[in-house]
Amino acid sequence: MDAVIIAAGYGSRLREVSDSKPLTPVAGVPLIELGVRQAHAAGAERVIVVTGHAAERVEAFLAELAARSGIAVESVRVADWSLPNGHSVIAGASRTRGDFLLTMADHVFADPLLDRLARSGGAGHGVTLAIDRQTDSPLVDPDDATWVTTDPRGLIRAIGKSLAHYNAVDCGAFLATRELPEAIAEAIALGRSGSLSDGMQILADRGRAATLDVAGHWWLDVDDPRAHALAEAEAPAHLPRIYGEIAGLKGT
């Protein structure tokens, strides 16, 4: 299994903390390193990182990370990083072999969360999205969250930032098949912006978008200074496998 991490955006809401969101340290470890190591620990044999803004710096760091960690890391640069994130998904998915984990560079997850998602695939699903039904969690930023409405079977009915009615929040982690980038490309052909949610909605309309409820597992979108402070304080306790691995390597 491969993994794709989207790391192309500008990160305007985090600019007062760092001028490169993927390289922003959380308790001493850059976000993109946490993402790569989490994907690898969940079973990804190869991690493909989609770069854009400050691409040269991010790509140089990824090369150094691959050399010292032994993890197979590749980068693919999106042509226009100002475009919606679905364009980055298409670029990253073009390098994958079969189903793939998909995450965002600014999301961190408790150790078991991606493990569960990686094992959740099954026939009949074009994509499986990790969701949290605790929509009022203090870890969720209601001004930036992507909301989800599911049916009684757990299939997605609607997804987007402006939903008036919802029963879950998008955690920013997906187990995807080729149907996801194809649906995003279809949305672009229909004149839509090409966001990841555009493609997800097409799959939802076809009954092809499943969910995995990860309520109870810690996760955080590190998108602004408040969230970054929370991550600094809480991430090491919730990611002991990752931080322990890094500490062990530094001690050798």
CATH code assigned at 233: 3.90.550.10
Per-residue model confidence as pLDDT tens for the chain (252 residues): 999 999 999 888 888 899 999 999 999 999 999 999 999 999 999 999 999 999 999 999 999 999 999 999 999 999 899 999 999 999 999 999 999 999 999 999 998 999 999 998 766 799 999 999 999 998 899 989 999 999 999 999 999 999 999 999 999 999 999 999 999 999 999 999 999 999 999 999 999 999 999 989 999 999 999 999 999 999 999 999 999 988 876 664
Residue 77 lies in a domain: yes
Residue 146 lies in a domain: no
> Strand ranges (DSSP E) for the chain?
2-7, 25-26, 29-30, 46-51, 72-77, 100-104, 107-109, 127-132, 147-150, 156-160, 168-176, 209-213, 219-221
Residue 147 lies in a domain: no
Domain range enclosing 198: 2-129+172-251
How far is 187 from 170, CA to CA, in rounded Å?
Answer: 20
Residue 19 lies in a domain: yes
Residue 81 lies in a domain: yes
Structural domain tally of the chain? 1
Residue 59 lies in a domain: yes
The reported pTM is 0.95
